[in-house]
């Protein structure tokens, strides 16, 4: 499977200096992703284009100007942001607020927050009246690079991450980089995990590039994949590069390890595992470590990580259950190869354990 190249879509520039526009090509469900300082100010124009007569704004940001006046009557609701509230109870609570405000199927919802807010609000919008328009204003680097684009919405169950969800494309995504000015250092690290993994699936080397370009190139890559495989039947699996171990690390550590941190470690692991399978050489595997290290990301398993628990969590990965190709002994991963990233089923569990063990020894 050859990785698609990341190029900006038509209308490369949004309105204003230093801004980019990426178009997600999905026919009549296509939409723009605008990236750059101040792009959230175009929200009234987006609402007018949709034709909504009222809007519910679900925001994790307390600032009065975090979400501009949408130009129509609006109800503002404080988001319950974070993994503990990424659940069906939160979705139900939001839908009840939509109904109490009188939202109809021709109205719209606006999300403003990180990736968990995007997921929860997106799913609520997908379910309410069997689907109403949603506009995302992602405020974290992680959400701008990944979570707000592509139409995947989901919440967690005790059994695993993102097990209940729907595909629901937004009407627009406004990645205002002004939001990033107040991000704590760990949130930058969280987002850079997705940018680092994009290096190995077609985005090219983004090290040293301005953050607006890093976001735009990452979004363009994801848009090109989503346009060709909206519902995760094949190519879209490459977007999960580094995520199989990454999600397992989140679960096993009780989400003390953040998503981007887990993906970073998972990316290093993917390089090591691909080399162990003979898919790439040691130099390419080392490149995984070098790229992840460049962004100041973790490269090793956390101290005391339970290997058996990690393997058990990885068996629940959606790639394995969707393809039906994993056995009781083998696991499924997206791995690098001479022909680009590809889905590799039935990787022997003992090789997975040995590779995890080698990473533990390297970190010791």
Is pLDDT larger for residue 1 or for residue 358?
358
User: Does residue 314 lie within any of the structural domains?
Assistant: yes
Task: Check whether residue 195 and residue 257 sit in a common domain.
Answer: no
Rounded Cα–Cα distance for residues 25 and 60 (Å): 29
Residue 146 counted as domain residue: yes
**CA dihedral in degrees (351, 357, 358, 362; nearest 10)?**
160
List of residues 6+ apart from 10 with CB closer than 8 A: 23
Query: How many distinct structural domains can be found in the chain?
Result: 2
Residues 148 and 71 in one domain: yes
3-54 confidence digits (pLDDT tens): 665 555 444 445 565 789 999 999 999 999 999 999 999 999 999 999 999 9
Q: What percent of the chain has pLDDT over 70?
A: 91
Would you say residue 10 lies in a domain?
no
Cα within 13 Å of Cα(7), Cβ side: 6
Same domain, residue pair 179 and 300: no
Please check whether residues 249 and 280 belong to one and the same domain.
yes
**For the domain that residue 27 is a member of, what is the CATH number?**
3.40.50.1970
> In this predicted model, what pLDDT tens digit does every residue of 244-273 receive, in sequence order?
999 999 999 998 999 999 999 999 999 999
* Contact by Cβ (8 Å): 144, 37: no
pLDDT at 255: 87
How far are the Cα atoms of 50, 80, 102, 344 from residue 87, in angstroms, in the given order? 28, 10, 23, 31
Domain endpoint, select from 228, 263, 279: 228
Angstrom distances, CA of residue 72 to CA of 11, 41, 69, 107: 27, 14, 8, 10
Q: Could you tell me the pLDDT band of residue 82, with boundaries at 50, 70 and 90?
A: confident
DSSP, collapsed to helix, strand or coil, labels residue 256 as coil
pLDDT exceeds 90 at position 242:
yes
User: Residue 254's domain is classified under what CATH number?
Assistant: 1.20.1090.10
In this structure, of 78-82, 219-223, 291-295, 297-301, the range with the lowest mean pLDDT score is 78-82
**Chain mean pLDDT for the chain:** 91
| Residue showing tokens 């319950």 | 80
Question: According to the model, what pLDDT value does residue 326 have?
Answer: 47
User: Both 170 and 89 in a single domain?
Assistant: yes
Task: Answer yes or no: do 36 and 171 share one domain.
Answer: yes
**pTM for the whole thing?**
0.87
pLDDT in tens, 105-164: 999 999 999 999 999 999 999 999 999 999 999 999 999 998 788 999 999 998 888 899
With vertex at residue 285, the alpha carbon angle to CA 282 and CA 287, rounded to the nearest 5 degrees, is: 115
Do 169 and 90 lie in one domain? The reply is: yes
Place of tokens 């684009």: 149
Domain around 69: 20-228
Query: Tokens 């999905």 identify what position?
Result: 26
Residue 292: which pLDDT band, with cuts at 50, 70 and 90? Answer: very high
Is 75 in the same domain as 181?
yes
Both 188 and 260 in one domain: the answer is no
The pLDDT tens digits of the residues spanning 119-135 come to: 999 999 999 999 999 99
Decide if 11 is inside a domain.
no
Question: In the predicted model, is pLDDT for residue 88 greater than 70?
Answer: yes
In-domain check, residue 138: yes
Q: Tell which wins on pLDDT, 148 or 301.
A: 301
Read off the pLDDT band of 60 (50, 70, 90).
very high
Residues 218 and 255 in one domain: no
Whether 207 and 343 share a structural domain: no
| Same-domain pairing of 261 and 172 | no
Q: Is the pLDDT of residue 323 over 60?
A: no
Task: Name the least confident of 79-88, 94-103, 109-118.
Answer: 79-88
């Amino acid at each position: 499977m050859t990785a698609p190249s990341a190029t900006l879509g038509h209308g490369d520039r949004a309105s204003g200096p230093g801004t980019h526009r990426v178009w997600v090509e999905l026919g009549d469900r296509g939409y723009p992703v605008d990236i750059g300082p101040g792009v959230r100010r175009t929200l009234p124009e987006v609402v007018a284009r949709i034709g909504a007569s009222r809007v519910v704004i679900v925001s994790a940001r307390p600032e009065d100007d975090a979400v501009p006046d949408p130009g129509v009557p609006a109800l503002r609701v404080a988001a319950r942001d974070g993994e503990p509230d990424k659940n069906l109870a939160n979705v139900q609570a939001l839908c009840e607020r939509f109904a109490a405000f009188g939202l109809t199927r021709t109205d719209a919802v606006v999300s403003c927050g990180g990736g968990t807010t995007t997921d929860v609000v997106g799913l609520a919008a997908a379910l309410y009246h069997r689907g109403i328009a949603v506009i995302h204003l992602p405020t974290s680097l992680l959400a701008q690079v990944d979570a707000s684009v592509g139409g995947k919405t989901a919440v967690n169950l005790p059994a695993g991450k993102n097990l209940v969800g729907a595909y629901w494309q937004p009407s627009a995504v406004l990645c205002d980089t002004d939001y990033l000015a107040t991000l704590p250092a760990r949130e930058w690290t969280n987002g850079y995990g997705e940018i680092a993994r994009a290096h190995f699936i077609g985005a090219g080397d983004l090290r040293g590039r301005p953050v607006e370009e890093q976001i735009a190139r990452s979004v363009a890559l994801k848009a090109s994949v989503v346009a060709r495989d909206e519902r995760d039947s094949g190519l879209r699996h490459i977007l999960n590069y580094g995520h199989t171990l990454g999600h397992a690390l989140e679960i096993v550590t009780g989400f003390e390890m953040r998503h981007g941190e887990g993906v970073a470690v998972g990316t290093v692991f993917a390089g090591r595992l691909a080399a162990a399978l003979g898919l790439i050489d040691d130099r390419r595997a080392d490149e995984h470590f070098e790229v992840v290290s460049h962004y100041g990301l973790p490269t090793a398993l956390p101290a005391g990580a339970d290997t058996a628990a990690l393997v058990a969590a990885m068996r629940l990965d959606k790639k394995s259950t969707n393809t039906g190709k994993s056995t009781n002994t083998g696991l499924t991963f997206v791995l690098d190869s001479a022909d680009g990233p590809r889905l590799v089923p039935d990787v022997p569990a003992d090789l997975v354990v040995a590779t995890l063990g080698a990473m533990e020894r390297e970190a010791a």
